[in-house]
Amino acid sequence: MEDTTNGIVKNPRSNTKFEDLPQHLIHHIMMKFLLYKDSTKLSVLSKAFHSLWLSFPVLHFDYKFFEQHEDPHDSFMSFILKTLHLRRPQGPLRRLSVIYSEGNSTFNMVFDALLHFAIENNTKEIAFYVSSKHSINVRYDSLLRLISSQCLTGLKLEGFIKFPIADLIILCPRLKELEIARSEGLQTVTVSSLSLEKACIGHSLELKEVHLKTKNLRYCSFVDLPHPCEINLSACESIKDMHVCGVKVTKNLIELVTGRLNISDCDIPENLSIHNPRIKDLRMNRNAKLENLFLLAPNLECLRAYEFEGQRRVLYNISSACAALKVLDLMGVTVTDEWVRSTISELGCLKELSLSHCHGLEKMELKMTSLRGCH
C-alpha cells in the first residue's frame, strides 16, 4: 500500500538495497550500466559488492587498481587467485579480461590459472593485455584446449606471450573476433573458423604466414609484420574494411576489399595499379617506394593520400572511370595544371577537393558546379 503522508506518494521499495534485488536483475544492471573496470573497482572496495561480483558472468582484472598498494604485484596476484578460488559461476562465463602492466616473471603461474579457469568455465570472450618485459609462456595442453573451444567467440592476446608451437591452427567453430599482437614463437597463424568476422594481427616479428579461411570476414588489420610475410585471404569474399601498415601489399589483397582500404608505411611496388570495382574508400599514407599509382575504381567515393616525403615525387593517375568520386584529398603528390584540367574536371560527382604541399601546381583553373569545398 502506498504511503501518502503529507500528500506525497512514497514508494515502499524506495529504500531497497542494491544487493537485495534479484540476482538476474543485478547482473543486468552491472552489464548494462557498469564498465568492466568499474565492477572490478567496486568489488575491491566493497565487501558486499564483492559477493555479488563473484556470481557475475564477467570477470575483469586490471592491475592499475592495485598500483597504490604497498606491494601492488603481490596484491594483484593474490586478488586474482582468491577470486578464482571463490568463484562459483552460474553457467558459462561470458567474458574474462586481464590488463597487466608489471614486468614480473611470476605472472606465468597466474596466467596459466586464468587460462585454465576460462577454459573450464566455457568462457565466450577471452582478452589478455600484458605489457611485461618478461615473456609469458602458454602451456601446450592449455593452448590446445583453447584453440579448439566450442564456446569461444572472441580471443584477444596482446603482449609478449610465448607460444609453445610455431604453427597455430585455430579451429573454434564460433569464433567471431581474433586479435594477436606481440606474440613470440609463432611462424604461422591459420584460422579455419567460418564464423570469423574480425581479425587483427600485428607486431609479431617471427610470423611468416597468415591464413584466414573464412567467407564472413568483414574487418582485418595487419600491422608491422616481417617481410615477406604471406597473407592469404583467398577464401574471403567481402571484406568491408582493411588496414595494412608496415607489411608487404599484394594485388590480391587489394582486390578483396569491398569498402575501405587503408595502406600506410607499406612495402608496395613503385608502380601500383588498383583495379577494384567494389572499393569505396581508399587511404594511402607514407608509402616510401610508391612513385606511380594507377587507379581504376568506378565505385570509389573517397580518396585521401598523404605521401609527403621531402623531395620525392608521387604521381596519382586517376582514371575518368572513377566517376563516383566525391572526396579527393591529396598531400605531397605531383599535381600539374594539366592534370587538374584533364582529370579532376572529369569527376562530375566531386564535392570536396583539397590539394596540399603538392608538386608542380602553378595556376589552377577549375570550374565545377558540384564542388562544395575546395582548398
Q: What are the domain boundaries of the chain?
A: 1-148, 269-375
Give the pLDDT score at 7.
Answer: 46
Residue 81 has pLDDT above 60, yes or no: yes
Task: Return the DSSP state at 3.
Answer: B
Give the pLDDT score at 15.
Answer: 56
| Nearest-10 Cα torsion for 340, 342, 348, 350 | -20
| DSSP-assigned letters across all residues of 316-341 | EEE-TT-TT--EEEEESSB--HHHHH
Write down the H helix ranges in 70-193. 72-86, 107-120, 140-146
Residue in the structure block whose three cell numbers are 618478461? 134
Most confident of 50-59, 69-78, 129-138: 69-78
Cβ neighbours of 209 (radius 10 Å):
16
User: How distant, in Å, are the alpha carbons of 10, 46, 79, 125, 187 from that of 90?
Assistant: 35, 21, 20, 16, 38
Average pLDDT (100-122) is 86
Is residue 342 within a helix (H) or strand (E), and if so which, with residue range?
helix 337-342
Report residue 65 as a C-alpha cell: 587498481
Most confident of 72-76, 133-137, 146-150, 369-373: 146-150
Q: Output 186-190 pairs: Cβ under 8 A, ≥24 positions apart.
A: none
33 CB-contact burial (10 Å; exposed 0-12 / middle 13-18 / buried 19+): exposed
Task: Return the DSSP state at 135.
Answer: P
CA distance 224 to 265: 9
* pLDDT, tens only, 298-309: 999 999 998 765
Give the pLDDT score at 8.
Answer: 43
> Strand 219-223 relative to strand 292-296: parallel, antiparallel, unpaired?
unpaired
- What phi and psi, each to the nearest 5 degrees, are found at residue 205? -70, -15
* pLDDT, tens only, 308-364: 655 556 788 888 788 899 999 988 888 877 877 778 878 888 889 888 887 777 766
With bands split at pLDDT 50, 70 and 90, how would you rate the model's confidence at 28? Answer: low
- What phi and psi, each to the nearest 5 degrees, are found at residue 15? -95, 10
* pLDDT, tens only, 177-225: 999 999 999 999 999 999 999 999 999 889 999 999 998 999 999 999 9
Q: What percent of the chain has pLDDT over 90?
A: 37
Report residue 311 as a C-alpha cell: 623531395
Give the pLDDT score at 144.
Answer: 95
> Strand 327-331 relative to strand 302-306: parallel, antiparallel, unpaired?
parallel
Report the largest interatomic distance among the alpha carbons of the chain, rounded to a whole angstrom: 85
- For the entire predicted model, the pTM comes to 0.82
With bands split at pLDDT 50, 70 and 90, how would you rate the model's confidence at 10? Answer: very low
* pLDDT, tens only, 228-267: 789 999 888 889 999 999 888 888 888 889 999 999 998 8
CA distance 111 to 84: 12
Closest to 156 measured CA to CA, from 98, 205, 101, 103:
98
Closest to 178 measured CA to CA, from 164, 161, 193:
193
CA angle 173, 175, 180 (to 5 degrees): 130
Q: In what order do the strands lie in the sheet with 271-275?
A: 271-275, 292-296, 315-318
